[in-house]
Amino acid sequence: MSGTEDLVLEDVTRHYDMQGGGVHCALSRLNLRVSPGEFVALLGPSGCGKTTALNCIAGLTEISSGSIHVAGRRIDQLTPDKRNVGVVFQNYALFPHMTILDNVAFGLRMRGMPRAQRHAKAMDAIRMVQLEQHAHKHPAQLSGGQQQRVAIARAIVVEPDIVLMDEPLSNLDAKLRIEMRSEIRRLHERVRRITIYVTHDQDEALSMADKIVVLQDGVAHQVGTPQELFSLPRDLDVARFMGYRTLLRGACRAGGGETRVQVEVGPGCTLQGLRIDPHLGERAVAAIRPDEFRIADDQAANLIGGEVRSAEYYGRESLVVLDSAAGTLYAKLPGSFAIGSRLRLHVPADRVLCYAESAS
């Protein structure tokens, strides 16, 4: 199997009428172009519009305005069964009274495929998710992870142009969730359809997707590769969501050329960083990920001191929270640390991202 269709969303918007009047914009002018075989993650906190976006593509929710095309054909006016999409839901949504084989073959039966043929095709899909020895069981006899694999087999068996997955791993325990990431990615490599994968988990999105769309309050803040999102979040909202936990505010001065700025984050403490906002004003926020801090040795610049407020020990390293004159610091550091001890930390200038304060 190989996907040859592309998916284009143009200004896709969905409003909901609110009780007592007014409208709520669950999704606002989403623009997205997905290439054949691409794996795209829609990433964002709960309520940001991820399920709405997925349901708009599936046809389970009508769009208020905009358009959706697959391979140049407009699909947003079509009923779900005419769109050739396969959907995997968070809660599996299997038919409890049917065997695994009948669950997977269901979509083929709806398309009028004769019994022998649909069973053979369903068995192929069941084999692909490695459940052949369970084909004649019922869903209740399977574990959560196995049930979710049945749901995936059911979605891909109809050879959809697009596979849509809505937080498919969120009901599984932590260990299985991590195993299933590579399992789903492996299946994606095999069937090579467009996959749109909804999650609120950055690690899931970073490890699985070719492209990530960060949604917040119904608006796409950034679309990029995992590397782009991780190392250069476009705005402070995306930065926060990508784990830039230390946020230090201060007066901003130009320094070190076009791309560098100096931010005076506390008395006698100035950090050099990267200018992310082209229009930085007089005040800026310096955003830093916990793993960018080091215990300072002989570095002369970009030093910041603090007192350990708390430290969570994880074996090889600790997540240390420090009070500094500039604000709270969150640093991942090797070793263990006594509460109340003072540390001097260094952070490389190209890992201090500076945003306009008004954007916070």
Ligand X SMILES: Nc1ncnc2c1ncn2[C@@H]1O[C@H](COP(=O)(O)OP(=O)(O)O)[C@@H](O)[C@H]1O
The listed partner (Mg ion, ligand X, none) that binds 48, CB under 5 to 8 Å by sort, is ligand X
State the minimum distance, in angstroms, from the CB of residue 51 to Mg ion. Answer: 3
Q: Which is nearer to ligand X, 27 or 142 (CB)?
A: 27
3-class SS letters over 49-75: CHHHHHHHHHCCCCCCEEEEEECCEEC
- Number of other residues whose CB lies within 10 A of the CB of residue 224: 17
Determine, following the binding rule CB under 5 A, whether residue 199 of this chain makes contact with Mg ion.
no
The listed partner (ligand X, Mg ion, none) that binds 47, CB under 5 to 8 Å by sort, is ligand X
Phi, psi of 241 (to 5 degrees): -65, -30
State the minimum distance, in angstroms, from the CB of residue 229 to ligand X. Answer: 17
Q: Which is nearer to ligand X, 52 or 222 (CB)?
A: 52
Q: Which is nearer to Mg ion, 170 or 231 (CB)?
A: 170
The listed partner (Mg ion, ligand X, none) that binds 46, CB under 5 to 8 Å by sort, is ligand X
Q: Which is nearer to Mg ion, 164 or 326 (CB)?
A: 164
Q: Which is nearer to Mg ion, 51 or 270 (CB)?
A: 51
Q: Which is nearer to ligand X, 167 or 292 (CB)?
A: 167
The secondary element (H helix, E strand) that includes residue 182 is helix 174-191
Task: Please give the distance of CA 199 from its chain centroid, rounded to a whole number.
Answer: 5
Question: Which range in 45-53, 113-121, 151-159, 346-354 contacts Mg ion by CB under 5 A?
Answer: 45-53
Residue whose beta carbon is closest to Mg ion: 51
The secondary element (H helix, E strand) that includes residue 245 is none
State the minimum distance, in angstroms, from the CB of residue 47 to ligand X. Answer: 4
State the minimum distance, in angstroms, from the CB of residue 137 to ligand X. Answer: 31
- Extract the tokens encoding 278: 């082209």
CB burial class (10 A; 0-12, 13-18, 19+) of residue 110?
exposed
The full length of the chain comes to 360
Q: Which is nearer to Mg ion, 51 or 302 (CB)?
A: 51
Q: Which long-range contacts (CB under 8 A, 24 or more apart) does 230-236 make?
A: 230/206, 232/276, 232/353, 233/276, 233/287, 233/353, 234/276, 235/276, 235/277, 235/355, 235/359, 236/285, 236/287, 236/355, 236/359, 236/360
Q: CA-to-CA distance for 40 and 207, rounded, in angstroms? A: 11
DSSP letter at 134 equals G
Q: CA-to-CA distance for 315 and 293, rounded, in angstroms? A: 18
The listed partner (Mg ion, ligand X, none) that binds 24, CB under 5 to 8 Å by sort, is ligand X
With beta carbons less than 8 A apart as the criterion, state whether 6 and 36 touch.
yes
Q: Which spans of this chain sit near ligand X (rule: CB under 6 A)?
A: 16, 24, 26, 44, 46-52
Q: Which is nearer to ligand X, 2 or 46 (CB)?
A: 46
State the minimum distance, in angstroms, from the CB of residue 150 to Mg ion. Answer: 21
State the minimum distance, in angstroms, from the CB of residue 219 to Mg ion. Answer: 16
Contacts with Mg ion, 48-67, as mask; x by CB under 5 A: ---x----------------
Q: CA-to-CA distance for 26 and 21, rounded, in angstroms? A: 15
State the minimum distance, in angstroms, from the CB of residue 16 to Mg ion. Answer: 14
With beta carbons less than 8 A apart as the criterion, state whether 98 and 173 touch.
no
State the minimum distance, in angstroms, from the CB of residue 216 to Mg ion. Answer: 14
CB burial class (10 A; 0-12, 13-18, 19+) of residue 294?
middle
Q: Which is nearer to Mg ion, 51 or 195 (CB)?
A: 51
State the minimum distance, in angstroms, from the CB of residue 196 to ligand X. Answer: 13
| Binding interface with Mg ion (CB under 5 A) | 51
